[in-house]
Amino acid sequence: MKVAVYYRNDDIRIEERPIPSISDHEILVKMKACGICGTDVMEWYRVKKAPRVLGHEMTGEILDIGKNVEGFQKGDRVFVSHHVPCYTCHHCLQGDYTACELLHIGNYDPGGFSEFIRIPEANVRHGTFLLPTGLSFEDGTMIEPLACAVAGQNLLGLKEGQTVLIIGSGVSGILHIQLSKMKGAKVIATDINEYRMDKAMDFGADRVIEAGKYSLNVLKNINDDRPADAVIVCSAAKQAIDHALASIGRKGKILFFAVPETDISIPALSFWRDEITVLFSYGAAPGDLEKAMELIDSRMIDIRKMITQRVPLSSIMHGFQLVSEAKESLKVVVVPDKEG
């Protein structure tokens, strides 16, 4: 089978490997679509574990099934989560599923950018979901990104009437725009890219500001002379961190949804006086995935217009280039090569 092996962003090699064999408790999935995540192109982060097969936003068709697997059959259309909790450790028993060690170290084999994927027993039990009839395989690649945004919003606890500043209007920023509007918040978004600024408006932002022209005064001028009640950082750039720290109001919350490129220096005195909360969000629990499927299936969150490009597995490096350049693209999805 073909696999796309990541060495670095400009070196992804199509290699041949045997199709994985499965145990009695596992399933074999034929990949039908797999999204390229923004974290996939964070070379400084990914290259440490290279070479490896990436891809964790995967949907496919069950090709083979272990004899002890229940609830699935050959031919089922599924979304599979790469990260699942154990449900038995201290963190899981407290309901803190994304702190579970299994969730952090588990994965499927070899990765979503592969023609066939072996799904381990834990992922079959807790991370494999039948796709609703109305969702295409490509639609399903947005379940995991949306679930992560749902998890982050649960931490943030936005309230109706609050103003949220969303820094970065890529895929995660636009998902947060839509979720924030669902909660009745006023949304102000920023980006450096005109294409993404336009997309932010298309997906419901009340105001969009070019990041290079952004300042606290600009925010106050369009927000009744107030800073933001909440800030969601969907960009790894240092400028994004600086804008977030400068823009939050008293009792406000900052959610670092993207992975910052540098360590963060907190202005402790002012944050203590103003009781600012700083949050980080990693991954999604199975309940978040189920909620994301409901939101997509009910059309409460529009994900279809977010999928802007599709590339065959053998041309995956072009897809990585599109995501890395972040010009006129949102979600780039890898699909199988055409047969024959």
pLDDT tens figures, 247-303 = 999 999 999 999 888 889 999 999 999 999 999 999 999 999 999 999 999 999 999
φ/ψ of residue 182, rounded to 5: -60, -30
As given in the structure block, the two tokens for residue 132 are 């609703």
Single pTM value for the model:
0.96
- Spatial separation of the C-alpha atoms in residues 310 and 332, rounded to whole Å: 6
- Asked if residues 222 and 246 have their Cβ atoms less than 8 Å apart, the reply is no
Is residue 325 within 8 A of residue 203, CB to CB? The reply is no
Residues 158, 187: Cα–Cα separation, whole Å: 11
In sequence order, what are the residues at sequence separation of 6 or more whose Cβ sits closer than 8 angstroms to the Cβ of residue 265? Answer: none
Please report, for residues 267, 277, 299, the alpha-carbon distance to residue 273 in angstroms, rounded to integers and kept in the order given. Answer: 10, 11, 42
pLDDT by residue for the chain (340 residues), tens only, comes to 999 999 999 999 999 999 999 999 999 999 999 999 998 998 888 888 899 999 999 999 999 999 999 999 999 999 999 999 999 999 999 999 999 999 999 999 999 999 999 999 999 999 999 999 999 999 999 999 999 999 999 999 999 999 999 999 999 999 999 999 999 999 999 999 999 999 999 999 999 999 999 999 999 999 999 999 999 999 999 999 999 999 999 999 999 999 888 889 999 999 999 999 999 999 999 999 999 999 999 999 999 999 999 999 999 999 999 999 988 999 999 999 987 5
Say if strands 228-233 and 248-256 run parallel, antiparallel, or are unpaired: parallel
The residues of the chain that CATH labels 3.40.50.720 are: 149-280
Structure tokens at 242: 């600086």
User: What's CA 170's distance to the chain center, in Å?
Assistant: 11
Q: What is the DSSP string of 30-76?
A: EEEEEEPPGGGG-HHHHGGG-SB----EEEEEEEEE-TT--S--TT-
Q: For the domain 149-280, what is the CATH code?
A: 3.40.50.720
**CA–CA separation, 3 and 92 (whole Å):** 33
Q: Which two tokens stand for residue 161?
A: 């009437």
Please state, in angstroms and rounded to a whole number, the distance separating the CA atoms of residues 279 and 331. Answer: 25
Q: What are phi and psi of 280, to 5 degrees?
A: -125, 150
Strands (E), the chain: 2-8, 11-16, 27-35, 57-65, 77-81, 116-119, 128-130, 163-167, 186-191, 207-210, 228-233, 248-256, 277-280, 307-312, 331-335
| 2-142+303-335 CATH | 3.90.180.10
| Rg (the chain; Cα; Å) | 20
Q: Which of 82, 161, 94, 87 is nearest to 119 (CA)?
A: 82
